[in-house]
Amino acid sequence: MVSAQARQYIANKLEEQAKQNWLFSNLKFEGEIPNQGKNRIYGFSDVCITLNHKGDLWIEGPTYRNFISSNNYHTAKEAVDLLHDQLRYIDENYKRLQSSPEIWVKKGLFTRIKERIAS
């Protein structure tokens, strides 16, 4: 678990790198998506990045789902670099993922409930 200050720093670095350095062919940075919870959500075309209150980064889209645990990094730079690697993988394999999705982690209960209500 990371502190609120560390989470804010990760969010700032993510936004800075996405705007200035991350150029993908199939993913476009759309900025932070407003929400009412503690989580920070960022859009990259059809992929959402969620930075939750524990410091975990969830990468979720219709054809790819994975996460980076706060235990897997020690600095904000490491967190953002790991996230970049995930996004680069999605971008490079975008067409293949359309026909063969990779869902490495199951959706949480809250997400499943929210999707049922929305449909």
| Predicted local confidence at residue 107, as pLDDT | 58
* Structural domain boundaries in the chain: 4-118
Contact (Cβ atoms closer than 8 angstroms) between residue 113 and residue 79: no
pLDDT (0 to 100) of residue 111:
54
Instruction: Name the nearest CA neighbour of 31 among 12, 17, 46, 44.
Output: 44
Instruction: Quick: pLDDT tens for 93-110.
Output: 999 999 998 887 665 544
Q: Which two tokens stand for residue 79?
A: 């967190």
At 82, the pLDDT band (50, 70, 90 cuts) reads: very high
**Would you say residue 25 has pLDDT above 60?**
yes
Asked if the model's pLDDT at residue 64 lies above 80, the reply is yes
The contacts of residue 86 (CB under 8 Å, 6+ apart) are: 59, 66, 68
Residue with tokens 């989470």, as numbered in its chain: 7
pTM, two decimals, is 0.83
